Structure formats: C-alpha cells, structure tokens
Amino acid sequence: MTYIVTGAAGFIGANLVKALNARGIKNIIAVDDLTQGDRFANLVDCEIDDYLDKDEFVVALSKGAFNGAVTAILHQGACSDTTESNGRYMMQNNYRYSRLLLDFCTAQKVPFIYASSAAVYGDRTDFRESPECEKPLNVYGYSKYLFDQYVRQHKYATQVVGLRYFNVYGPREQHKGRMASVAYHFFNQYRSAGKVRLFEGSGGYANGEQRRDFVSVEDAVKVNLFFLNNPLKTGIYNCGTGAAQSFNEVAAASINACRKARGEGPLTLAAMQSQDLIEYIPFPQDLMGKYQSYTQADLTALRAAGYAEKFLTVEQGVARYCETLAGLPS
C-alpha cells in the first residue's frame, strides 16, 4: 500500500515526506509539478518509491491505476501565491484538483488530509472554523474557502481532514521567493545588509506591530501526523499556535539568531530600532484592503480532537530555523 503526498517537492509537502521517512515509511509516491526545477532539492534527502508529475498523476488516477493501492493521501499541492490574480488558474489548481482527490479517497475509503488556509478568514478577528467567521480577501483564500464549504456539505465514510495553516515558516521553503516566510526573508536581509525591512503601520497597528499566528513547519507536520494516527477523527481544523505575535518579534528573533551565529550577544527590540537594524518601509498600495493585519488561530476544535502538543513560540521556532539556515546544529 502506498502513501501519496501531493505538492511533495514544496514546502510543507517535502517536510511531510521527510517525517514519514523518519517513521520508516518509504512507500511514498511524490506528486508535484517541477516546472520550477530547483524545487527538486527538497526531495534529495528523502526516500520515495516514485515521482509523478501532477498531470501524469491525474491521468493515472482517472484510469484506476491506484485503485485499492493507497493507504492515505496527504494533499499539499496548490497554488499558494496570495497575490495571484488569475482566478481560473487558481480554481483549477486549488479547487478542482482537490475535488478530484477527495472523490477518489471517498470512493476508495482511504484517509484524505488536505491543506486549507487561514486566508479563508480574511480581515475577520474571530478565527473559529465556522462560516460566520470566514470572508476571504483574495481569490487564493476563496479557492480554499470554496473547497472547505464543499467538504462541509457532505458526510463521508472515511477520514477527511482540512488543516487551515496560519503563517508557516521553516526549512525547505527556499524556492518560494517572495512568498517565503518573513523569518526566511529577515534572516537573509540581515546577513546581506545588516538590517531587516518591515512594513510601516497599517490596520491600526504601529510600525511592525501587525500580528500574525506564526507556526513552525515542525508543528504543522506534527498536526498532520496526529490525524494520520487517528483515522476516526475528521473535520476542518486550525493549524496555528493560538498566539499572535508581531512582525517586530519575528525580526528580533531572526536578528538575535544571526548575532548568536556570529558569537554576538542578543539585543532588545528597542536597541535594534535605535541602532537602525530594523527599517520600516511604506506599506504597499497593492496590498491595501487585501492584507491580514491580525490572525490568531482558535485551537478549541483541535484541542477537543485530542491534539495536546505544545507549539513552538516565535522565539523558539525562529531561532531554531535561523540556526538551520546558518548551518549550525540546532
């Protein structure tokens, strides 16, 4: 029997493949689109049975090639660019593709764990997995919202779990370019220019004080594996820490991790600001009305499902990540 991981050469997908390997699971089919060829690097240290291009996989699936042969599908494949304006492309990749895999899993009665997103909440301030809390601000968020809505409309004889990722950061995101986490960008900015750049205040928040729920990919993977271990648990769940922290806090954690790598002592945020180690840049006009200035996962449903693990804070997780980026043992 085979595990299928879509988006396997991507950020969370590759981390899931690596985590499955750590459990001794190697019978994995990695599915992705390697048009952006440098993403292959995410799978170099992973063990898989086979790699299939997404289009090749869809054809094989429709022909019954995987009937009776799948243990579970971990569906991470999607267009995750929140600034993508091509709605047709977004809906085909994020909605139709997900529908196809869901139909297969329900027909075959195998678990289906898929990536949703906190983008479904838009500029709401109540982050519960409930329709009245949801109002996406862009077509990416809408594509995730629509699929979640479809899932809610049906009852299934197998496990179907949607995980609404908040701001995930960590190893294997280097291919994401401008869509990589702020922790990744802050690390590289400080190493190259000796300072980091944050947006000026917006949405009623002071400079750099916009707040997000920043969650380590280590924790996101643990939540996936929890549900894989508990196939009777189903539903849509937030995947965040439950604690909003500011971009200033992420910047401070990144800078201090870089300083530690150089043998230098930590600085307070105020000291960083006074020494011009943090530069506040104008808020982009094209993000006006499309930007989440505040997110914080409500973990009530996740905890009720039995997930009891503690989540890494920004100070813990970003420091560990930056040590990895710097090539230091964490």
Q: How far is CA 269 from CA 194, 214, 243, 254, in A?
A: 15, 18, 19, 11
Identify the bridge partners of residue 31 per DSSP, sorted by sequence position.
Answer: 6, 52
Give the active site residue among 176, 195, 260, 290: 176
CB atoms within 10 A of CB 285: 6
Give the active site residue among 121, 140, 145, 321: 140
Q: Find out whether 82 and 145 touch, Cβ atoms under 8 Å.
A: no
- Cα–Cα distance for residue pair 26/36, rounded to 1 Å: 25
- Contacts for 263 with CB less than 8 Å, ≥ 6 apart: none
Q: Dihedral sign, CA of 277, 281, 287, 291? A: positive
Tokens of 164: 């609404």
Q: Render 289-310 in DSSP notation, one character per residue.
A: TS--SB-----HHHHHTT--PP
Q: Cα 231 to chain center, whole Å? A: 22
Alpha helices (H) in the chain, listed in sequence order? 11-22, 54-62, 87-91, 97-108, 139-152, 182-193, 217-229, 247-261, 269-274, 300-304, 314-325
Which residue reads 């301030």 in tokens?
Answer: 125
Tokens of 305: 């499902």
CA angle 205, 210, 211 (to 5 degrees): 130
- Cα–Cα distance for residue pair 312/298, rounded to 1 Å: 16
| 176 annotated active-site | yes
- Cα–Cα distance for residue pair 251/158, rounded to 1 Å: 43
| 165 annotated active-site | no
Tokens of 153: 């409309």
Residues taking part in catalysis: 140, 176
